[in-house]
Structure 1
Amino acid sequence: MRIDYRWIPFVAFLSACTVGPNFQRPALQTPAPWPETQSTSEANRSVAVPEPVDPQWWNSFGDPVLTELVTRAMDSNLDIKVAAARLLESRAQLGQTKADELPTLNGNASYTRELQSADGVIGLLGGGGSSATDTNGLGGRQGGVPTSSAAQNALPPFNLYQYGFDASWELDLWGRVRRTTESASATVEAQNEARHDAIVSTAAEVARDYLNLRGTQEKLRITRENLAFAERTVQLTEERAKHGLATDLDVANAQSQAESNAADIPQEEQQEAKLINAIGVLLGEYPQALAAKLSPPSAVPMAPPRVPVGLSSELAHRRPDIREAEAQLHAATASIGAAKADFFPKITLSGSVAIQATQFTNLGSWGARSYSAGPSLSLPIFEGGRLRATLALREAQQQEAAITYRKTVLSAFQEVDDALTGFAAEQRRRDRLEASVQASKRALDIANKRYIRGLSNYLDVLTAQKALLTAEQQWVDSTATVSTNLVALYKALGGGWDTQDGAYAALPAKQE
């Protein structure tokens, strides 16, 4: 077979054609710098600074237990494992898609025992029936099909041995396979970013639950201290009542306050157990598995003096959900090209080489060879509108992905701005509540001394005690909220996933 090499440049040119739009990374307007959270002259407050985000931000709280929990969660959290499994699935699907770019080669071997029908097609060749026919003009003569008079069949039963190879390859003239591979590759990137997002969310959830746990334990400590104080006050009031220095109403009020404080303890203990279980689930542990480790109370970890938040222009390259939305937009764009390529002809090269013989001993002879080779053309003529509907679907999906990307970016900047504002505002509230606690302590001390001296009734003590308990609980809640708001800020900034994969970098878009 003679090959005309003049056609090779033309075929190569056609193979380089790729229909459909090329993906272009969406252009983003440079956002304004992050707002200043507060003056650096404020004492006891954390300041957001435009420095690189700490990839291991949980270490900034200075709590080794928190660091250990987050580190364990990175290895054992089930949501992260599910995201990793989906990443493996997408990589396997990419491998399936890329296989279409290469020829397929199959080996085959068979053995069959055959009997041809005497009244079938073979009868047209001059054999079969009750006697030999002359249908092909050769009945009974040389070239005619012999007749088996015993079985009245054109051919006696025979064996057929065969082995060989067959191959096929679709010429990707319009880039259908390449676009499909590009879409699958972008889907892999999207799944990888989804895994990164799971890492960020898990680290934030572990830290948030841990901080709330320490806050609950601190509130439990304050409630128990107030209960002890209320019980001592009951004893004091009862003694004074025995000597006629207090009334039964004072005793009843003191007992009511003590019982009210005691009633708060079971609820706070329940909240403590729930948070310990929540942390355990995040670490892939059964309920109460971490009770021995986390039950001993500890102070709420405080925010560091300086909180690096990076630059606003870096957010789109660091947030995994933005990167995932961009990869999904890339995949949707590539799918349009694959849909457009279906409108064009498909050319497939196929061929086979086989050895076939009716006698096993003849399989090695040169005369037993057979082969076939040639191209096949498939051209869509009428599909009932299926191809146009598919293209319209892919274009609509791309528009949806573009809108989703835009929404994801806007939501990301909103979350960061809200987190910065909330972090600064809660610090100011915490400072006011701390001053309120100090004033309430002085008021209770004064009211208690005046009551002991008989200068006021017990109602003043009761009022001061309730005010102190409320102020202390609010202060503890605010202290924990400052730290959890910082966690929310780090989550909004997208920090944490690059701990697992190294320093983040903006991945270049694939251009075809």
Structure 2
Amino acid sequence: MNSQNYRIDVSQKFVSGTEIRLGAGTSTAQIPAIVGEPSSDIRFYNADTTLTLSQPLLRGLGPGVARRGLSSAELRRTDAGRQQALVEQQVTLAVASAYYHIVAQQALVDVARQSLERARRLREASEARLDAGLVSQLDVLRAQQLVTQAEIQFFDAESAADDARDRLRSLVGRDMSTPFNVATDIPRPGQEHVEADAAVAIALPNRLDLKSLVASGADAERQVSFAKNQLLPQFDVNVAYTRRQTADSFVHSFGVDRFQLATFFTIAMPVDRTPQLVDYQNALIERDRRKREIATLQRRIADDVKHAIRERDRLVRGLAAAENSVDIARKEVEVAQLRYERGLSNNLDVVTAEGNLLGAQSRRIQVLADSAMAGLSLRAVLGILNPRNLELGISNLECGTSSVEYGPRSRE
């Protein structure tokens, strides 16, 4: 009973730097009376209830100082959201690339299968013509060699298609034993022309990495203001409304009467301001570094956008040339086959034409897949790729009793 303390303290700090503190408490005390007679001791309570308002006038004044920690936390939270969106875009591009790689490999498997069938028919025809004495043994050997090469290309295409399927399973988080079907069509690239300057103007306000860097630059500017404020002397005005007295009981220690108003000032200034000066100079250096990084990233974004537009246009032109090459190669095979059947030439021309057709078809499929990916990459470079509203969709994947199919949805 001789050393009991009861106290509660509440404080609130506002963005202006103003701080309000409320403290209420009491503690027991006693005055010994006659030695050897504890019952004659005087016991009482020391009560203290104080409401204090403190307002800094120099150092600590303003929302930029009072909200410094909160502003940094908000910046980190917002930046974490941007980083998540960037990762989602990267995953989207990886999944789309794996998807189009499967579609391309499946198309190559079909092309290799057709080439193998034509090679086998050519071998059978060469053997029949050899039995009839119309061609030499060299024609049969060339046909057999063509069949062997076609089989190797067919097996390679099948193996590459299986590898592409495994990669897509891994990216979408499916078990390696999960079967699925893939839509075989690849959307053709758009023919609309995009001006480089207009594309750069779209990319600069939409790129998430640039937004994060600009936000970091603004935070560095706030850090400069904060460090500059810390160089000022501490000059606070304080107003206290206090009640301090002794009471004979715990209940009488608290009340609403006998309060007194007190006003006082607090002035403090460190003799050595080296740490504050160092922090201020570091803040200036960090601010200038952020500005240089922003300017560098803006130039790099402009270069990336122009490169992506040139790459897309190159692939569009390359696709037209590849399709024209496939048409020419088909006609070349037809002419060579017709000349061979009529005995105007040996099967060397047919073998060469078949190889040219297979190469042309392979190039066309690869260019078509690359052009589809170039369109998505351009949207990512512009900062307008929305992973949750993409033209690639998932439906109909066979997994146990359910089935899922990867395929393109509608183009925007």
| TM-score in terms of structure 2 length | 0.71
CA distance in 1, matches of 2:219, 2:247: 51
3-state SS of 1:376 partner: strand
1:396 Cα offset (Å):
0.8
- Check conservation: 1:197, 1:497, Cα contact below 8 A: no
Q: Deviations over 1:226-285 (max 9, x none)?
A: 2333344455555556666563624641442232123312332134314523652xxxx4
CA distance in 2, matches of 1:232, 1:198: 51
1:433 Cα offset (Å):
1.7
- Is 2:308 aligned against 1:419? yes
- Check conservation: 1:105, 1:166, Cα contact below 8 A: yes
Residue 386 of structure 1 is aligned with which of 257, 261, 275? 275
Once the two structures are superposed, the pairs formed by residues 405-416 of structure 1 within 5 Å of their partners are: 405-416=294-305
CA distance in 2, matches of 1:207, 1:316: 24
Q: Count residues with an aligned counterpart.
A: 366
Q: Which amino acid counterpart does residue 434 of structure 1 have in structure 2?
A: E
Equivalent residue, structure 2, for 1:395 = 284
Once the two structures are superposed, the pairs formed by residues 43-442 of structure 1 within 5 Å of their partners are: 101-105=17-21, 146=32, 149-150=35-36, 164=49, 167=52, 169-171=54-56, 173-174=58-59, 177-180=62-65, 181=67, 184=72, 194=83, 197=86, 201=90, 204-237=93-126, 247=137, 249-250=141-142, 252-277=144-169, 280=172, 285-287=173-175, 292=180, 295-306=181-192, 310=198, 312-348=200-236, 349=238, 351=240, 353=242, 357=247, 359-364=249-254, 374-383=264-273, 385-442=274-331
- Check conservation: 1:186, 1:330, Cα contact below 8 A: no
1:468 Cα offset (Å):
1.5
3-state SS of 1:306 partner: coil
| CA shift in 2, pair 1:388/1:452, >3 Å | same
CA distance in 2, matches of 1:233, 1:464: 12
| CA shift in 2, pair 1:391/1:246, >3 Å | same
1:397 Cα offset (Å):
0.5
Once the two structures are superposed, the pairs formed by residues 22-61 of structure 1 within 5 Å of their partners are: none
- Check conservation: 1:165, 1:354, Cα contact below 8 A: yes
| CA shift in 2, pair 1:498/1:259, >3 Å | closer
- Of the structure 1 ranges 400-409 and 203-212, higher mean CA displacement relative to structure 2 is found in 203-212
Residue 490 of structure 1 is aligned with which of 361, 379, 382? 379
CA distance in 1, matches of 2:290, 2:13: 22
| CA shift in 2, pair 1:253/1:313, >3 Å | closer
- Check conservation: 1:223, 1:264, Cα contact below 8 A: no
CA distance in 2, matches of 1:271, 1:97: 61
CA distance in 1, matches of 2:93, 2:280: 41
1:457 Cα offset (Å):
4.2
Gap regions ≥5 residues in structure 1: 1-95, 117-144, 501-512
Q: Which amino acid counterpart does residue 269 of structure 1 have in structure 2?
A: A
CA distance in 2, matches of 1:239, 1:157: 131
CA distance in 1, matches of 2:215, 2:337: 67
- Check conservation: 1:430, 1:479, Cα contact below 8 A: yes
CA distance in 2, matches of 1:101, 1:388: 22
- Check conservation: 2:203, 2:381, Cα contact below 8 A: no
Q: Deviations over 1:153-184 (max 9, x none)?
A: 9x979786868566564525356653344764
| CA shift in 2, pair 1:170/1:297, >3 Å | same
CA distance in 2, matches of 1:163, 1:419: 72
- Check conservation: 2:22, 2:52, Cα contact below 8 A: yes
Name whichever structure is richer in strand by fraction.
2
| TM-score in terms of structure 1 length | 0.59
Q: Which amino acid counterpart does residue 313 of structure 2 have in structure 1?
A: A
- Check conservation: 1:351, 1:371, Cα contact below 8 A: yes
CA distance in 1, matches of 2:34, 2:123: 120
Q: Which amino acid counterpart does residue 378 of structure 1 have in structure 2?
A: A
1:444 Cα offset (Å):
2.3
- Check conservation: 2:112, 2:150, Cα contact below 8 A: no
CA distance in 1, matches of 2:302, 2:90: 17
Gap regions ≥5 residues in structure 2: 1-11, 390-412
| CA shift in 2, pair 1:364/1:237, >3 Å | same
CA distance in 1, matches of 2:325, 2:210: 43
1:481 Cα offset (Å):
1.9
Q: Which amino acid counterpart does residue 58 of structure 2 have in structure 1?
A: L
